[in-house]
Chain A
Amino acid sequence: MEIKKINGNFILTNFKKGLTNGLSVTFLMVKVIFPCYLIIEIVKHLGIINIIGDLFRPFMKFFGLPGEAALGIIAGYTINLYAAIAVLSPLNLSSKDITIVALILGISHSLSVETPVTQKTGVNSWVLFSVRFLLSLFAGAGLNLLWKFF
């Protein structure tokens, strides 16, 4: 009887905790997404996006991506994935482009937050940082090459 009661409470508290966590994450997310979205819309409107695109085109061609995608990758590396999708979403990229960006960012993102986390486990975080950064670039380039076969 007593065990059953505890179990019931567990479910309710877990549910509540999860809901509150989810909502607070979403709130944090909105604070990131909206400014990023706005900046990109303004940049697009003013035509600066083409200049940025031209600037990054030489680097982005290794991944088969348009130059503008570099903004999304930079946002993902430094801020987090929500900033990255807020930047990428208005750019209207193809499914292939987004998959490549997603692989790059999936391996290596939010480096400002996650590097300190890895450090606290006592593991040399510089090694992991370098592995993630380099691997993400190679994986992106690799997926771009693989995509051509299919």
Chain B
Amino acid sequence: MEIFLTALKKSAILTGQLLLIILPLSISYEFLKHRQKELEGKKWRFFGISSSGLVPLITGIIIGLTYGAGVIIHSIRSSNMDKREAFLIMLFLSICHAIIEDTLIFVVIGANGIILVVARFFLAFLFTFIAYRWLFFKKTL
């Protein structure tokens, strides 16, 4: 019984801390969705990812794969990007997504947030670059 109460109390505290992170984020996500149209117009290129890939990329990095799923799937399917570009985007996203939420919930229990963000971005850039440069060598020639 005592264990039950401790677990109840501690998980309530943990949930409260997470609530403080999740509510502001979920509200800003909604505002971000409205900015998508503006992003789509921008000309930008990086490691074989074009401007139409920017929307799923930014959505994924900030919102994450679970909540951003709808936007990501829709924007990849509706634009006529090739398989290669879709792969590069998903490769980047699978390593580096939901960067704010994932980092903060671990910071709550004591992790070093800066290391986490830097390491994930670095690995995502590295792997996307490797895949772009060598994995699709024939196509880039």
Q: Which residues of A contact B (CB under 8 A)?
A: 10, 14-15, 17-19, 21-23, 25-26, 29-30, 33-34, 37-38, 41-42, 45, 81-82, 85-86, 88-90, 93-95, 98-99, 101-103, 105-107, 109-110, 113-114, 117-118, 120-124, 127-128, 131-132, 135, 139, 143
Contacts and interface: CB of A to CB of B under 8 A. Distances in A.
A3 B123 CA distance: 44
A42 B86 CA distance: 45
B90 A107 contact: no
Interface residues of B, number: 53
A123 B111 CA distance: 32
Given A22-B25, A41-B7, A131-B94, A99 B105 contact: no
A115 to B, nearest CB: 9
B45 to A, nearest CB: 20
Interface string B97-112: 0000011011011111
Interface string B7-20: 11011001100110
Contacts of A101: 106, 111
Contact of A22 (B23, B34, B83): B23
Interface in B72-102: 72-73, 76-77, 83, 86-87, 90-91, 94-95, 102
Contacts of A117: 65-66, 69, 72-73
B134 interface: no
A45 B11 contact: no
B116 A37 contact: no
Interface of B: 3-4, 6-8, 10-11, 14-15, 18-19, 22-23, 25-31, 33-34, 56, 65-67, 69, 72-73, 76-77, 83, 86-87, 90-91, 94-95, 102-103, 105-106, 108-112, 115-116, 119-120, 123, 127
Contacts of A109: 102
Contact of A26 (B18, B72, B94, B108): B18
Nearest to A40: B7
A89 B30 contact: no
B118 to A, nearest CB: 10
